């Protein structure tokens, strides 16, 4: 999947935004983003498949966390190009 397709979804961007604050489980993200479980799971699976997030089971809940930063660089005219990067998050 192309980087533009990955972050081209408003829902996926909102999910990523909420994951920047802390690890979250599906029901939390559903409430925060305002979507049903099937849709949330679809977006989470897409992000996980692309290696941007990861999941870990804790008890009965599956928590998601960021694995990569999302960097979008947009150049001004006349080029009007943009670049999307997903560098790994380094442990402190």
Confidence of residue 77 (pLDDT cuts 50, 70, 90): low
d(CA 82, CA 14): 20
**Which residues make Cβ contacts (< 8 Å) with residue 21, sequence separation at least 6?**
none
Whether residue 85 has pLDDT greater than 90: no
The least confident of 11-15, 47-51, 80-84 is 80-84
Domain 3-85 sits in CATH 1.10.10.10: yes
Looking at every residue in the chain, the average pLDDT score rounds to 85
pTM (predicted TM-score) = 0.77
């Amino acid at each position: 999947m192309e980087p533009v397709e990955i972050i081209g979804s408003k829902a996926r961007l909102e999910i990523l935004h909420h994951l920047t604050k802390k690890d979250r489980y599906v029901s939390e993200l559903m409430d925060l983003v305002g979507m049903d479980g099937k849709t949330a799971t679809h977006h989470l699976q897409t992000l996980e498949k692309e290696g941007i997030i990861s999941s870990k089971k804790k008890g009965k809940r599956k928590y998601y966390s960021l694995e990569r930063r999302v960097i979008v660089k947009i150049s001004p005219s006349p080029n009007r190009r943009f670049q999307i990067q997903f560098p790994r998050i380094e442990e402190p």
